[in-house]
Structure 1
Amino acid sequence: MITLDADSRLAVGHLIVRQENEDEYVVGDPATGTFVVVPELGARLVELFAAGRTVAEAAMALEQETGEPIDALDFAEVLVEAGIINDQAEAARAKVWSVSRIPAWVVRPLFGKVAWTFYAGCLLTTLWMFVAEPSLRPTYEDTFVFPDIAASLLLTNVVVVLLTILHEIWHAFAGAAVGVPSQLRLERRGVFPVLETDLSGLWALPPAKRYGPFLAGMGIDSVILFAAVAPRYAWSHGWIELPPGLIRILAMVVLSQVAKLAFQTLAYLRTDMYLVMATATGCNNLHQVTRLSLKRLVRNLRPDEAVILRDANPRDLRVARWYRLLYLAGLIWMVFFALQFVLPSAKVALGWSLGILFGAPIASFYWWEGLLLISFTLLDVTLPLFVVVRNRIRARRAVA
């Protein structure tokens, strides 16, 4: 940790200072994705630090400009505590995913007007096919591609993982197109384990330039969904012939992509659409403010939570009044999805695997298949718990 005093000179040449709203500025390192929101005086202090002024000199200069005493040392310590200025800054800026290093001109055509028209066209055409041919809509049975349940779930898990990686790569491509580095990490959203592309550097850009990277994953998901539905639509009308096995695999892909796109609309889980909404409304901490405002309705807040809500940006408080409805709607949708898809699939899978384990000879092929299926189920349950424990350990280490 850097030790500061009145004679300290801060290395802030790597920081950006950008006005976010009328009375707020974003200060941070776009390479590491670490940002803080400061008032106009804070932004001016960073400019003075960048000009080579010591902490004391910057405070004196700003006091002469405003006529009021300024605690520049306290502000500098805030930047250090936030991780914007520290001894590991250079190493942290080097830790970016290789996809981020792709030149912007290579991937920029994937996110131009023509590309976004194509993405939107794929999604709208798919929705039309679902309306015209209801049999194409996904059901939980589409998970089971083969009569062998273990083989079906193995294939489904592999496909879901590959398509999820593609979704995140598209986020990274979109970030690279606007010059923002990214990192891929394992996180959770509610009860769901997720891969996440960290594009925190987008907050260094004007709001209008953030929407493309935020929506990029849904764009490629719409293309994959169309590519899986269109052949089945053509087959159902007798225009083409498809093997039965391929039809079932395409149905499984449709289920995966519909679930993924629906998941991204769950703004209360801080998904892609949440980022779009937060940007459009100009909010800084909408998710936490909304959660705490709802929690306050049913139980008392902890002292630290009460302070967060008390000091929240007025804009966040205003938006949270109607965002609560979306938050609650998301919770209801997650329960619905669990009842309609997750639990029926788990019931079939667990029933089959337990029957095999107790009925098949130990160490036989079918016995191992049943064990593999139970392992998949346990992984789905324990992975979000692992992420929670990991994040808490990291938070404690950061405080220490």
Structure 2
Amino acid sequence: MKITLQSQFTLYPLSIRKDKKNYIVEEPVSGDFFEMPEICIDAIERIKKGQPLGEIEHELREKYPHEDVDMIEFGEQLLELGLVQEIDGKKMTTKKEIRSVSGFTWLPPSVGRFFFNGIANKVYLILLLVNISLIVWNPGLFPHYQDIFIFDSMMLNIITYMLISLVLIIIHEFGHILAIRSYDLPATLGIGNRLIFVVFETDLTAAWKLEPRQRNILYFAGMSFEQLCVLLALAVQLLFPEANAILLGILGIVVFDIFIKTIYQCCFYMKTDIYYFIENSTGCYNLMENGKQFLSRWLPFLKSDAGDAESFDGEQKIVRLYSVFYIVGILLTLSLILFYFLPQAYYAYSKVFSNLLWSSTPAAFWDAIAFLGQTVILLGLFVYSKRKA
């Protein structure tokens, strides 16, 4: 249907709330959320009153003389977003996908509030400071690349590390779930992938119903639970240094895994929990896309990832600052590769090839074969994921 300045729209019921700089618009039927500046909200309110687009355009041009007002273009955008129910009395044929999220609603909000409240949130911050202090005062507890090698068998080391990492991922995601349940909102736990690795992901879309300060609690919830795990692991290592070697090795893996994941959280070229905190605190909700677009002047390959992102007025300084941290995140990843992953790979494969060529026992030989076999499988999956992408 052609939209003209005489067209009158009927919109779906919308919930509009002021955010840090702009407004968050929720379409309750589909559960979709959109960020819009004040002029758009003003236009929507006039549309609700039944004014034709041309009349709205004239009034907005007088009220916002420095803005480029085009109500036909705005109407097309509303239509594309699925917010228009009727145009000039004719119903739109677009089918609305009703999204009813009810994940983990069996968890009482009181349970979430036990773990995430004004006092508990401060305790988690104290735990972080205590953990840092314990490692500074006891440098031997600082994660080392050999921490994951607690057995002679490389396959057993890999399996143990993967299982511990999986348990810690579940604990991390359960922190997000309990935090959002503390506000009596639903969450869903899905499974995604990072290259060839399977990961769990908590959908916190419903968090857009909350104030920015409340959303920050949700973003840090997973890391908060991790700090509790680190404190327990460090405490046992300090209090019981003569404990079972395998137990101490497992606790060392816990500290190592969370340390690596915390560094990853600071890699802002990925949408990590800390990235979402920065985005939420600044109110720049397209920070990564705008940052890539800014950096694409010098790194053209980022242009395709940035898409057609546009920043609102006043966001340019924040985008430029984020671009610096984007590069820092890449350098952090390279540091992890240099100081942890490459030494781990060298240590593991030197042991494997030694057992393959000069093994003293059949068990060591077949362990080396199994380790090389899983390496071939992982490389195959990596190539497959790249070709599929």
Letter in 2 for 1:217: G
Q: Which residue of 2 aligns with 1:396?
A: none
> Following TM superposition, by how much is the alpha carbon of 1:50 offset from its aligned partner in structure 2, in angstroms?
7.0
Asked if the contact 2:26/2:32 (under 8 Å) is kept, the reply is: yes
Q: Which residue of 2 aligns with 1:161?
A: 166
Q: CA 1:369–1:232 in structure 2 vs 1: closer, same or farther (change >3 Å)?
A: same
Q: Which residue of 2 aligns with 1:76?
A: 78
Q: Which residue of 1 aligns with 2:177?
A: 172
Distance in 1 between the 2:264 and 2:303 partners?
Answer: 30
**How far does the alpha carbon of each residue in 1:358-389 deviate from its partner, in whole angstroms, 9 at most, with x for none?**
678xxx76565435434554566666776677
| Structure 1 residues 226-305: aligned runs within 5 Å | 226-236=231-241, 241-299=242-300
Q: Which residue of 1 aligns with 2:368?
A: 370
**How far does the alpha carbon of each residue in 1:300-319 deviate from its partner, in whole angstroms, 9 at most, with x for none?**
886996854xx422333211
Q: Which residue of 1 aligns with 2:104?
A: 99
> Please, which moves more after superposition, 159-168 or 195-204?
195-204
Task: Normalising by structure 1, report the TM-score.
Answer: 0.78
Letter in 2 for 1:275: Y
**How far does the alpha carbon of each residue in 1:81-108 deviate from its partner, in whole angstroms, 9 at most, with x for none?**
99xx963521xx2355x33553323311
Distance in 1 between the 2:173 and 2:248 partners?
Answer: 26
Distance in 2 between the 1:123 and 1:62 partners?
Answer: 53
Letter in 2 for 1:36: F
Q: CA 1:339–1:7 in structure 2 vs 1: closer, same or farther (change >3 Å)?
A: same
Asked if the contact 1:192/1:384 (under 8 Å) is kept, the reply is: no
Q: CA 1:315–1:129 in structure 2 vs 1: closer, same or farther (change >3 Å)?
A: same
Distance in 1 between the 2:28 and 2:225 partners?
Answer: 25
**How far does the alpha carbon of each residue in 1:10-56 deviate from its partner, in whole angstroms, 9 at most, with x for none?**
4x33x43122355x3222347966322223343355557778x6xxx
User: What secondary structure is seen at the aligned counterpart in 2 of 1:296?
Assistant: coil
Aligned pair 1:126/2:131, yes or no? yes
Out of 145, 149, 155, the position equivalent to 1:144 is: 149
Aligned pair 1:111/2:116, yes or no? yes
Q: Which residue of 1 aligns with 2:89?
A: none
Distance in 2 between the 1:215 and 1:47 partners?
Answer: 36
> Following TM superposition, by how much is the alpha carbon of 1:126 offset from its aligned partner in structure 2, in angstroms?
1.4
Asked if the contact 1:207/1:279 (under 8 Å) is kept, the reply is: yes
Distance in 1 between the 2:336 and 2:15 partners?
Answer: 42
Structure 1: runs of 5+ lacking an equivalent: 393-400
RMSD of aligned alpha carbons? 3.7
**How far does the alpha carbon of each residue in 1:245-271 deviate from its partner, in whole angstroms, 9 at most, with x for none?**
211111111111111222212233221
Q: Give the number of the structure whose residues are more often helix, by fraction.
A: 1
> Please, which moves more after superposition, 39-48 or 379-388?
379-388
Out of 205, 213, 220, the position equivalent to 1:215 is: 220
Q: Which residue of 2 aligns with 1:348?
A: 347
Distance in 1 between the 2:187 and 2:377 partners?
Answer: 27
Distance in 2 between the 1:86 and 1:179 partners?
Answer: 31
Asked if the contact 1:186/1:196 (under 8 Å) is kept, the reply is: yes
Distance in 1 between the 2:385 and 2:186 partners?
Answer: 23
User: What secondary structure is seen at the aligned counterpart in 2 of 1:315?
Assistant: coil
Q: CA 1:330–1:381 in structure 2 vs 1: closer, same or farther (change >3 Å)?
A: farther
User: What secondary structure is seen at the aligned counterpart in 1 of 2:82?
Assistant: helix
Q: Which residue of 2 aligns with 1:202?
A: 207
Q: CA 1:178–1:65 in structure 2 vs 1: closer, same or farther (change >3 Å)?
A: farther
Distance in 1 between the 2:31 and 2:352 partners?
Answer: 45
Asked if the contact 2:8/2:47 (under 8 Å) is kept, the reply is: no
> What count of residue pairs does the alignment treat as equivalent?
369
Distance in 1 between the 2:271 and 2:39 partners?
Answer: 31
Q: Which residue of 2 aligns with 1:330?
A: 329
User: What secondary structure is seen at the aligned counterpart in 1 of 2:33?
Assistant: strand
Asked if the contact 1:149/1:349 (under 8 Å) is kept, the reply is: yes
Distance in 1 between the 2:208 and 2:385 partners?
Answer: 25
Letter in 2 for 1:169: F
Q: Which residue of 2 aligns with 1:36?
A: 34
Letter in 1 for 2:114: P
> Following TM superposition, by how much is the alpha carbon of 1:60 offset from its aligned partner in structure 2, in angstroms?
7.3
**How far does the alpha carbon of each residue in 1:313-353 deviate from its partner, in whole angstroms, 9 at most, with x for none?**
23332112222222221111110101111122222333444
Task: Normalising by structure 2, report the TM-score.
Answer: 0.80
Q: CA 1:141–1:89 in structure 2 vs 1: closer, same or farther (change >3 Å)?
A: same
Q: Which residue of 1 aligns with 2:65?
A: none
Q: Which residue of 2 aligns with 1:87?
A: 95
